Amino acid sequence: MSEPTADRGRPRRRGVPPEQVRLMRAAGLASVSVAAVLIALKVWAWLTTDSVALLSSLADSLLDLLASMITFFALSFAVTPPDREHRFGHGKSEGIAGLVQALIVSGSAVYVAFAAVQRLLRPQPLEQIEVGVGVMLVSLALTISLITFQRRVVARTGSIAVSADSVHYRADVLTNVGILAGILAADLLSWHIADPLIGLAVAGVILVSVKQIAFDSLNVLLDRELPGKVRKRIEHIATAHPAVLGVHDIRTRSAGSMQFIQLHLELDPGLTLLEVHEISDAVEIEMHKAFPLAEVLIHADPYGLKEPRDSF
């Protein structure tokens, strides 16, 4: 018997493609490098100016470095191909990394708020303002460059960990602008409470950024369904095959860059097992065209069979 046509060249997904692995690892390494440079600059600027806003930014960068290192190692693990003990791959490590990031960044927000309140109670002038201004401008330039690169990586890989890392760096851009404004206000207008007020604003922005990081990470860890429009597309692809009479029990989830799709096809009960196999393979091939990183599992049911089905 010849090999079924639909089975020739049938895609077998064994982890993230090498090009995406390279991009994700490069994004992790870039994040660690930028955080390390910013820490060195901000330590010098804080010791020079005694600015609580700069101290808050330094604390944020220290935790950025820790979070970026976690992301880097999580990405290295997440892109490891499936093995005997982890047959669905290691993508959920991205969700764990994102959740740890949320906890770390929340801690930095609490610290920043505490330092700002202390300075509000005891305002004091800043020193060597030009150092603080210069460092914040360099920080802005480096952070914006990193975010631009991260966006390209997320667009090409869909990485949850890189996306989470990018979220708090985007918040850093806003906080750096605020800190710069606070330093200038304290210097030009002698408004010394601007510095701690900006510090409090930084803490608020950090906490807002944490919400999205935590939400996306929990969705991965709790196997949240893919968006409704994705499910509709899956149903459309399945029913586009002329032999498919219906589809039900579509179940989806994601783990890092990978998606997992399960569905039941309703087929003519008179088909042979070989015909059912060929139809299922043909649908799977079309699914892989639309979702290149998906693992697709198809179950065939006789059309009209009465059986328990998902009620949602």
Domains and CATH numbers, the chain: 18-221 (1.20.1510.10), 225-302 (3.30.70.1350)
pLDDT tens per residue, range 123-160: 655 566 677 778 888 888 998 999 999 888 888 877 76
Nearest to 255 by CA among 216, 310, 297: 216
pLDDT of 1 over the 60 cut: no
Q: At 3, is the secondary structure helix, strand, or coil?
A: coil
pLDDT above 70 covers a percentage of the chain that reads 81
CA 282 to the chain's CA centroid: 32
Biggest alpha carbon distance in the chain? 88
3-state SS assignment for residue 269: coil
Between these two residues, 243 and 294, which has the higher pLDDT value? 243
Distance in angstroms (rounded) separating the CA atoms of residues 173 and 177 = 6
Q: What is the DSSP letter of 189?
A: S
pTM for this predicted structure: 0.59
